Structure 1
Amino acid sequence: MMKYFNCLKTEVDPKPFLDEITGIDGAWDQSTGRQDKIQVQREALAIPLRGLRKSAIGDRKRRDVHESRWTTGSKPYVVARRFLEQFAAEQDSILGRAKIVCLPAGKRVYPHIDRGEYYRVRNRYHLVLQSATGSWLKAEDEEVRMKQGELWWFDNDQMHEAFNDGDQDRIHMIFDMLPAKRAQEVFGTAA
């Protein structure tokens, strides 16, 4: 039994998600904030689907902002949005931030811990959309190789890193969810 990883689903069809991405010209070039601003993520490309609600920042650090919203750029990603909404309902959870991330062959996400109030109360998930050899991910002393079509929970409060040791792009949908039972604690209201 692993402490930091749990495979929740094994046969999610990645084709509709990948078709959606390839159907949008320059999908990976529309937003470069992740690789430009987050040093440990500098080798990864991202399509933001849900982001923090900027109007809610106030005097808080970005990592402490709980409020999130669909990005304007997420509109054409109907399959991805539907999946996120359905999975959140299935898990009795509130969607947080979400993105589709490409880690090109030979590239890595450097060791880090996702810190802040936002991450402290949420669960992190990876849906593997493309990975020929399985996606290597490490959290603390545990390593996994996530396969295409698998949906994983993992503990991003631990030191973690990723490396694409394959010869093709590795594509994941990475997202966070807040269990509805914690809505009162986080937002001051029930879900």
Structure 2
Amino acid sequence: MMNFQKLPPIDPTKLLMKIKQNPELWKEDTYLRDYPQGPFGEIESIMLRFPEKRVFDQEEELQKYQAGESKFDQHESVDYPAYALLTEARPLVMGLMAYVGGERLGRVMVNKIKPGGKIYPHEDTPAHTAYYTRFHIVLQAGAGCFIRAGDEQLEMRSGEVFWFNNKLNHEVVNNSNMDRISMVIDIKVSK
């Protein structure tokens, strides 16, 4: 496989238990689900780290931001309140960062896809994929939950950790009988 690389697995039980004990976290931030024309309409997310959300008055300001020419750093993510509550996430994130020789931590979010749901095919922005490398820690997945990147697909299994090439068109389909819950982590690594 060229578009995926598995890393050593982890035990997600403590974090998964803490998430299940705090179900209100799934409703606190609907940014991805509500994003117009976005691929995430069928998911729920818990934002642990994410860029500050910005509203631009003019298209020109947005274009400068996307090109990295504004006063705002589009790659800067900040801790959200859920990251302080879900203390079990931090050792998993920092352990992965140490394992891959991370230089900067970007977005960290937990996404849930119900049985029969999906994240629709999309490509991440070139500026983001050139800067950050995307990893997944699968917290919960049943047989029949797949991620596709380009022309390859990987069945997701609980406890698996992997890199995938998010520069390519990709999607996630949950054909299992349980929620698929995965932590998505962006890390700047030496290339």
TM-score range, shorter chain: 0.7 to 0.9
Q: Which moved more, 1:156-165 or 1:37-46?
A: 37-46
Counterpart for residue 124 of structure 2: 114
User: After superposition, what is the alpha-carbon deviation per residue over 1:30-78, rounded to whole angstroms, capped at 9, x for unaligned?
Assistant: 11111001521110110000011458x9740399711112112321010
2:126 is aligned with what amino acid?
A: G
- CA-based RMSD of the aligned residues comes to 2.1
Q: Which runs of 5+ in 1 are unaligned?
A: 183-191
SS at match of 1:147: coil
Does structure 1 conserve the Cα–Cα contact (< 8 Å) formed by 2:109 and 2:185? Answer: yes
Distance in 1 separating the partners of 2:121 and 2:113: 15
% identical equivalent positions: 30
How far off is 1:178 after superposition?
0.1
Counterpart for residue 185 of structure 1: none
Q: TM-score normalised to the size of structure 1?
A: 0.85
Counterpart for residue 74 of structure 2: 65
Q: 2:25 aligns with which of 27, 44, 47?
A: 27
User: After superposition, what is the alpha-carbon deviation per residue over 1:86-130, rounded to whole angstroms, capped at 9, x for unaligned?
Assistant: 221232212110101100110011110001312222110111111
2:31 is aligned with what amino acid?
A: G
Counterpart for residue 94 of structure 2: 85
Q: Which runs of 5+ in 2 are unaligned?
A: none
How far off is 1:25 after superposition?
4.1
Does structure 1 conserve the Cα–Cα contact (< 8 Å) formed by 2:146 and 2:153? Answer: yes
Does structure 1 conserve the Cα–Cα contact (< 8 Å) formed by 2:8 and 2:161? Answer: yes
Alignment of 1:1-191 (within 5 A): 2-10=1-9, 12-37=10-35, 39-54=38-53, 59-61=64-66, 65-93=74-102, 94-133=104-143, 135-179=145-189, 181=190
How far off is 1:22 after superposition?
1.3
Distance in 2 separating the partners of 1:25 and 1:114: 28
SS at match of 2:115: coil
2:25 is aligned with what amino acid?
A: A
Q: Say if 1:42 and 1:26 are closer, same or farther in 2 by CA, change over 3 A.
A: same
2:17 is aligned with what amino acid?
A: D
Q: How many residues align?
A: 178
Distance in 2 separating the partners of 1:85 and 1:130: 20
Distance in 1 separating the partners of 2:67 and 2:95: 27
Q: TM-score normalised to the size of structure 2?
A: 0.85
1:22 is aligned with what amino acid?
A: K
1:79 is aligned with what amino acid?
A: E
Does structure 2 conserve the Cα–Cα contact (< 8 Å) formed by 1:123 and 1:176? Answer: yes
Distance in 2 separating the partners of 1:91 and 1:133: 28
Distance in 2 separating the partners of 1:40 and 1:54: 18
